[in-house]
Structure 1
Amino acid sequence: MTDLDLTKRQGLPDALRALAEEYPRTGWSEAGPFRNLITFWLDKHMSFRHLLDRLEADGQAALDGADPAAYRHSLARHGGLLVNELHGHHTIEDTHYFPVLERTDPVFAKGLEILEADHHALDGLLHELTDKANAVLREPSDGNALRDHVGALQAVLGRSNPMLLRHFEDEEDLVVPVLLKHEPAALAY
């Protein structure tokens, strides 16, 4: 599964893109009976993208000399929100949504292995992100040690952002077309 590894993958394999081609993103806004669910789910992914951007921008501002106390406050708030919300989001997907989608559509069932591997890889990344953020939050407000910790956190964010963006896009390309293809009754628990 190395070619499908989240750190190397450039997109879904063609065989898994069949539904995404049948139900392209341009038509997702007209989602019929699943419109609210799809909108909520896509908005959740967008909120994660915004949090990642915020964390990277705040970290760069801290490296450029912004107020350390303000940075730590923002990091605690936005970093905690990102990590906690992503863990919760993935838990709901893994325990509630994905099993139903797997039973409903063979294309999704084939793609589920990729998404599960992504979630496992992202758990490790979120753990590392949390460790680096906690090191920043524990460090005194000034000095080179704080700058070093912020730099280490920025490096993790730099690796995290492309992986999370790849995961979100691929997950959306698997999930939304399945929701668009099937009637609500087909997706009942």
Structure 2
Amino acid sequence: MSDDLTGEWPLARRSALPAAFTWLREAFPRSRWDEASVPGSATHWLQMHAGFRQASRHMEKVAEAYRSGSIDLRDFHGRLLPTLSGFLQHLDGHHRIETTHYFPQFRAIEPRIAPGIDLLDRDHYAVHAQLERLAECGNALHRTVRAGNINAVDDAARMADALDTAASPLLRHLDDEEDIVIPLMALRG
């Protein structure tokens, strides 16, 4: 791999992975990912990511409903925080397992994907910063709503804004990770 692959490619500015990272996807494109030959581990990975996307969409819809006035502050709090809590916990755990268990194995199975795996590992730090912000905003919203504090409206607005900010990088990361990992699992077992 050439040195230009070790460059930044920051998550917040990426709209797709460069072709040099997706060469395995060319051999096993997304259109084939539902084939019976895809290993169960890859199917599980896709299901986990689908769950993160679903939770993200749910939280977006709740924030939109709050902003439009369709639901009040207490409904926003009640509908959002259980999903947010599970989302944060599961995504953090998922990333920890990837970084400590799967990514080292993938590097060993196919050393040529190491730059792509390194990029995904760096993405985890960017996503984690977003998760921390979501947790801070969620905790602040919860505290002020439970206390009946008038500042809860401000906390709700910050929560909705944090969801907006976090969504795009997270979804980009999920897509990019799948483009590197699923073909590797399908083609190399």
Question: Same fold judged by TM-score > 0.5?
Answer: yes
Distance 1:59 1:179, change over 3 A: same
Q: Deviations over 1:93-120 (max 9, x none)?
A: 1111111111111332121111111001
2:123 paired residue among 101, 104, 118: 118
Distance 1:2 1:147, change over 3 A: farther
**What code does the residue aligned with 2:180 have?**
L
Partners of 1:33 and 1:119 in 2: CA distance: 25
Partner of 2:31: 26
Partner of 1:29, secondary structure, is: coil
Partners of 2:180 and 2:16 in 1: CA distance: 11
Q: Is 1:155 aligned to residue 161 of structure 2?
A: yes
Q: Matched residue pairs, number? A: 182
Q: Deviations over 1:120-169 (max 9, x none)?
A: 11111100111011111111377862222111111111111110110000
Partner of 1:173: 179
2:79 paired residue among 74, 87, 90: 74
Distance 1:118 1:105, change over 3 A: same
Q: Is 1:12 aligned to residue 17 of structure 2?
A: yes
Mapping 1:76-115, distance limit 5 Å:
76-115=81-120
**What code does the residue aligned with 1:27 have?**
R
Partners of 2:87 and 2:24 in 1: CA distance: 30
Partners of 1:79 and 1:61 in 2: CA distance: 16
Q: CA deviation at 1:2?
A: 6.3
Partners of 1:56 and 1:125 in 2: CA distance: 15
> Are 1:20 and 1:177, in contact at CA under 8 Å, matched by a contact in 2?
yes
Identity %: 32
Q: Bigger CA drift: 1-10 or 163-172?
A: 1-10
Q: Deviations over 1:43-68 (max 9, x none)?
A: 11011111111111112222333133
Q: Bigger CA drift: 104-113 or 167-176?
A: 104-113
**What code does the residue aligned with 1:148 have?**
D
Unaligned runs of 5+ in 1: 184-189
Partner of 2:3: none
Mapping 1:26-65, distance limit 5 Å:
26-32=31-37, 34=39, 36-65=40-69
- Runs (4+) of structure 1 moved beyond 3 Å? 140-144
**What code does the residue aligned with 2:117 have?**
L
**TM-score with structure 1 setting the length:** 0.89
Distance 1:100 1:31, change over 3 A: farther
Partners of 1:13 and 1:77 in 2: CA distance: 37
Q: Bigger CA drift: 134-143 or 152-161?
A: 134-143
Partners of 1:3 and 1:98 in 2: CA distance: 19
